[in-house]
């Protein structure tokens, strides 16, 4: 019998989070009561936590379907790990806090894992993702690493195949995500409460280096419902005039600037060479110079233990991964 824990990390989302929770419940009803739960790990400021009490369907909390864990420090990665450690069920799913769940998306992802139960290399099963303002043809499963190691969006697939890396929505086995014989979680990003950003690359590329594989599952996409949270009040001063309860502001999340997750991940995955190759891309994308802003040395300090852990266990280097492109050759 299928049983699933859905993990939602939340930072100052209120009404959109309520829509996400109801969308999850609609798709989980078919699992039957006692076979699913939704865990919100809430990083929100105090005033947002008060708003949540009036937005969320709290009757589900009384029934044990919905659990809310308050986490004082705003870190996406430690929030997800907190939620996964608290999960009751074998399978865990990760979705964003402003998302509509595709019809049968959870069912299809778990079915895929169960059909590949004998595959010891199985890592993440990914649903495609789409954005509310786009046609469904805009859904994406994959990152295209031909042009950038950080990866612009690539394609969605109507058949099962291995893919490079991608963020949520995904399903995996709880034990594999947390185990030191499996993925080993987010490592430094959670431990040091790295700021919001970059971790999807980290846990997307890390399985390949360890000998696991990420899969695209043909199912209906999860839909980002927005308004999109890529708003930094420091770079958009006019946003201060807008109702801040509608937006999640990067500037109040995590240690350091938003791009630190990418910088830490680059160093863990590929060392100094990967940092230097991607420095220009990071500066272009985030307006952050890793050298001028002193981010490089801080990232290396935060990343050193996780990098040592990965270096001791990985079966190939990041450069070998780019050369071999195992996602194109796996069946």
Q: Are 300 and 319 in contact (CB under 8 A)?
A: no
Q: Are 80 and 7 in contact (CB under 8 A)?
A: yes
Range of the domain at 145: 1-331
DSSP H or E segment with residue 166: none
Q: Are 46 and 14 in contact (CB under 8 A)?
A: no
Neighbour count for residue 268 (Cβ, 10 Å): 29
CATH number at residue 331: 3.90.550.10
Residue-level pLDDT, tens digit, the chain, 331 residues: 689 999 999 988 888 899 999 999 999 999 998 999 999 999 888 888 888 878 888 888 889 999 999 998 889 999 999 999 999 999 999 999 999 999 999 999 999 999 999 999 999 999 999 998 888 788 999 999 887 888 899 999 999 999 999 999 999 999 999 999 999 999 999 999 998 778 899 999 999 999 999 999 999 999 998 755 444 545 555 555 555 555 555 566 788 888 899 999 999 999 999 999 999 988 888 888 888 888 899 999 999 999 999 999 999 999 999 999 999 975 5
Closest CA to 206 of 183, 178, 174: 183
- Report residue 3 as tokens: 């049983």
Question: How many domains does the chain divide into?
Answer: 1
């Amino acid at each position: 019998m299928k049983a699933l824990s859905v993990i939602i990390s939340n930072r100052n989302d209120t009404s959109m989070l309520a829509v996400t929770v109801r969308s999850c419940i609609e798709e989980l009803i078919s699992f039957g009561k006692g076979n699913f739960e939704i865990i919100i790990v809430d990083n929100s400021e105090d005033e947002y936590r008060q708003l949540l009490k009036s937005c969320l369907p709290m009757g589900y909390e009384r029934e044990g379907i919905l659990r809310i864990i308050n986490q004082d420090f705003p870190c996406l990665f430690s929030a997800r790990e907190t939620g996964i450690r608290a999960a009751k069920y074998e399978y865990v799913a990760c979705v964003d806090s402003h998302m509509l769940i595709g019809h049968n998306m959870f069912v299809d992802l778990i079915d895929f894992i169960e059909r590949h139960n004998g595959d010891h290399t199985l890592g993440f099963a990914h649903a495609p993702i789409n954005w509310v303002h786009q046609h469904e043809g805009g859904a994406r499963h994959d990152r295209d690493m031909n042009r950038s190691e950080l990866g612009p969006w690539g394609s969605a697939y109507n058949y099962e195949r291995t893919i490079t890396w991608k963020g949520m929505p995904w399903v995996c086995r709880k034990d594999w995500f947390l185990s030191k014989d499996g993925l080993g979680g987010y490592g430094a990003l959670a431990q040091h409460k790295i700021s919001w950003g970059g971790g999807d690359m980290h846990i997307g590329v890390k399985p390949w280096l360890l000998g696991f594989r990420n899969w695209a599952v043909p199912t209906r996409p999860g839909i980002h419902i927005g308004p999109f949270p890529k708003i930094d009040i420091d770079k958009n001063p006019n946003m201060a005039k807008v109702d801040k309860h509608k937006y999640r502001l990067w500037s109040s999340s995590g240690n350091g600037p938003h791009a630190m997750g990418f910088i830490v991940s680059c160093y863990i995955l590929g060392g100094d060479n990967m940092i230097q190759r991607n420095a220009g891309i990071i500066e272009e994308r985030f307006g952050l110079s890793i050298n001028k802003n002193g981010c490089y040395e801080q990232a290396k300090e935060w990343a050193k233990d996780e990098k040592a852990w990965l270096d001791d266990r990985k079966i190939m280097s990041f450069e070998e991964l780019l050369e071999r492109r195992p996602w194109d050759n796996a069946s």
